[in-house]
Each structure stands twice: as C-alpha cells, then as structure tokens.
Amino acid sequence: MGAVFLEPGQLDRLSSWLRPHHFHRPVHAATYAAMLKLRAHGHPATETRAGEPVPLTWVTDAVAEASTHTRGLTASYAHSLVSACPRPEHAVVYGRMVLEGAIHRSVAQHATRLHQAARADAIRGGAEETIHHAEVLSEVLADLARRWGTEPRAESPPASVTPPSAAYPQPVEEHLLADEELLLGGLSARPQQLRAVVGWLRPDDFADAAHQQIYQSLGALHHRGEPIDQMTVLWETQRRGALADRTLDVERVRRICDPSAFAGAAEHLGEQVVQASLVRTAAASARQVRALADDESLAPGRLINYALHALGPLDEVRRRWRIATDAEPGLSRTASHPPAPPSAARIDAARSRSRSHRPVAAQPAVSTTAPRPSAQDRPHRRSLA
C-alpha cells in the first residue's frame, strides 16, 4: 500500500492480477479498491513517473473514497503505510507477497467449508453439499493458479510435507455398517447381482476393513467364474489371509453370508455405500488440503498442485457415484446395461492365475495302468475353521 501511495504508476503493474479481496485487512482492501477506482477515473496522480513528486490529493482522495466503505481510516494511517515502505519500486514483489498470503487463506477457507459440508452430509445423509463445495474448491484452485502464473496440475507432495490422511479417523454410523452387511449378504445369496455393481463399487468404498475383504473375495470368485456361497466365500477369505491376520473370523463370515438372512436390493444399497464413501473421502481430502494450506513454507504453486493431488481420490469416488446414480451425462449405468457373463477363456485364465503351479514329474510315454491322482488333484480336505 505504501509503495502505491508513493508511486501511483505502480498500479499499471498490479491491477491486472492483484485484487482488493486479496488483502487480509478490510481497511487495506478498501484502500486498494479506492486506488483502482481513482485510476479508472483518470486521477492525475496516476500519470506521474517514478521519481516525480506525487500530488497530495492522491493520498487525501484515496482516503476519502476508502472511508465510504470502511471505518477508522485516517490520513495519518495512510502516512504510516507510506513510512513502512522501504522501496516503492519493489511494489510488484510486495504484491506477490500479498497474493501468496491470500492464496493460503483462500485454500484453507474453502477446504474448511468442504470439510464442514462433508460432516453435515454424513449426519443427514446425502452428498449434494459435499459435491458443490468440492467443485468450488477445484475452481478456486484453478483460478488461483492462473493468478499466480502457473499451470494447475496434480502433483504428489514429498513425504516431508505429506499430511497424515488417517490422523483423525472418522466415526462410522451403525446404520452404514448394517447397510454394508446387508449388501454383502445379498450379493452372497444372489451372486447375479454382482453384475450390477462391480462396474462402480470398489472394496475401499466399504468403511469396515472386514467388509472390504468379503467384497474382494466375492469379486474374485465372480471374476474366476467360481460358484459363490457361504462356504466358497469363507474359502476365498482364508486364501487371502483375512482369517490369519484376524481381520475376519469364521463365524462373522458365515453370519454375513448366511443365505437365510434378509438381503436388500444390491443396487440401492450399493448407492448408499458409495455415497458414504464419497462423503468420507471428501472429509479426508479436505483435512489434507487444510494441512497443506497451513504450511507457510509451501510456495503457492506447490500448494495448489499438492491440493489438487489430495482431491484426486475424491474426484474418482465422485465419478463412480455419478455413474451409480445416473447423474453423469454420457455415462450409462452398469445395471442398465449389464456386462455379459465372463467367457470360458476368461474364466480359465482367471482360475489359472489363482492356482499355485507346482512342477510335475515326467510320466512314461506309454502306461498300461491308470495313474494315481496326484496330491494336487485330490480334494482339499483341510478344515476351514
């Protein structure tokens, strides 16, 4: 502010990218807006060159105009701003310092709003406010990158500045866990419903780690064309180590996959699971962006790119949620156009990848007796319990 008071011509180098709202204090924002207005109206002081005396009316007129929009601004305060400026020819650098602080504040404010919207949507059920504020934050980041003079692109931050994503685990509502169990029970009892959800429902969408393992097992069995029931799901979870690491136990798998239990429509329950995943992901991304914005050591370009990277998981979940709810133009829901069942070649390839290949001893070219079945071909009788 002091540099522009001393050399009004500096506005020619500032006005195109530095705006009044970039100033933190309202009195500074009002004063800068008054300067821009006087310049637009052709104030004589704006025609002075560097080193030439500046008319006193420049200060008095700017203070008078700014005083109509804020309180407490006096001529003495304007002179204190002038005395605080070491070199008026460095006004552009000072302006970038102002813009840098504005970028950090703006990113932090919009990240906070996104987090609040996600928390509210998690309580009332929904995702509209979360999606709205996520889109606003993305647009703000793009606009700030343009004003800073960089190209916005998602960039993974180094480990030294990566904010912990799971530092504050979010509580999960009981009704959501119940919906997840109903969905898994329905998919286990009626495996044909998997064709309606596998295109947009991912294991990470489940809030419970045990539910993630069961859905992964269901998906693996479906991909290989294996039969799906209570026993095969238990077998697959055991093969994946979920029983050994105690993520699951036998009784829980049997209870969730009990065919006699009530099972709702997979499509509707899947939508609820993806919607809850979207809200959780938005809250986590917002916390990461806010932590990045609070790091004053980050230059604006890096802050913007790191923030875009933090929003990447949210963009991916949001894309799948729009597919699930038919909200994305040009994309058809998997349930409306279910994929064809896996071909025999695909099933054989998937099964071969899941087998453990062991070398087999060479057999005689001609044998007069039927060979005994190898250990690999005999039924596996180990108890799953």
pLDDT at 168: 59
Q: How confident is the model at residue 344, as a pLDDT?
A: 57
- In the prediction, which pLDDT does 50 show? 79
Contacts 24+ apart (CB under 8 A), 346-353: 346/225, 347/224, 347/225, 350/223, 350/224, 350/225, 351/224, 351/225, 351/226
Specify the pLDDT at position 254. 94
Domains identified in the chain and CATH numbers:
2-86 (no CATH), 97-167+278-324 (no CATH), 174-268 (1.10.860.10)
- Residue 212 is encoded by which pair of tokens? 């993630």
| pLDDT above 50: residue 30 | yes
The dihedral built from the CA positions of residue 48, 49, 52 and 58, taken in this order, carries a sign that is: positive
Q: Give residue 66's pLDDT.
A: 93
Confidence (pLDDT) at 369: 43
More confident residue, 73 or 369: 73
Cα–Cα distance for residue pair 184/211, rounded to 1 Å: 8
Q: Rounded mean pLDDT of 190-203?
A: 92
Share above pLDDT 70 across residues of the chain, in percent, rounded to a whole number: 81
pLDDT band at 6 (very low <50, low <70, confident <90, very high): very high
Full DSSP string of 330-381: T---TTTSPPPPPPHHHHHHHHHHHS-----PPPPSS-SSPPPPPTTTSPP-
Residue 141: which pLDDT band, with cuts at 50, 70 and 90? very high
Average pLDDT score over residue span 39-45? 92
Cβ atoms of 317 and 281 closer than 8 Å: yes
> Which H or E element spans position 105?
helix 91-124
- Burial zone of 8 (CB within 10 Å; 0-12 exposed, 13-18 middle, 19+ buried): buried
More confident residue, 368 or 249: 249
Tens digit of each residue's pLDDT (9 = 90 or more) over 293-352: 999 999 999 999 999 999 999 999 999 999 998 755 444 444 444 445 555 555 555 555
> What phi and psi values does residue 304 have, to the nearest 5 degrees?
-65, -45
Say which amino acid occupies 198.
V
Burial of residue 267 (number of CB atoms within 10 Å: 0-12, 13-18, 19+): middle
d(CA 274, CA 234) in angstroms, rounded, equals 24
Q: Is the pLDDT of residue 379 over 80?
A: no
What is the maximal distance between C-alpha atoms in the chain? 116
pLDDT band of residue 166 (cuts 50, 70, 90) is: very low
pLDDT of residue 326: 78
Q: Which residues contact 293 (CB under 8 A, 6 or more apart)?
A: 104, 105, 107, 108, 111, 303, 307
Residue 193 CA to residue 279 CA, distance in Å, equals 25
Phi-psi region of 19 (alpha: psi -120 to 50; beta: other; left: phi over 0): beta
Helix %, strand %, coil % of the chain (to 5): 60, 0, 40
Mean pLDDT of the region 156-169: 70
Calculate the CA 246 to chain-centre distance. Answer: 30
Banded model confidence at residue 159, pLDDT cuts 50, 70, 90: confident
pLDDT at 263: 60
DSSP-assigned states of every residue in 32-81: HHHHHHHHHTT-GGGGPPTTSPPPTHHHHHHHHHHHTTSSS--HHHHHHH
Instruction: Output the 3-class SS for 300-322.
Output: HHHHHHHHHHHCHHHHHHHHHHH
pLDDT for 220-273, tens place per residue? 999 999 999 999 999 999 999 999 999 899 999 999 998 876 666 888 999 999
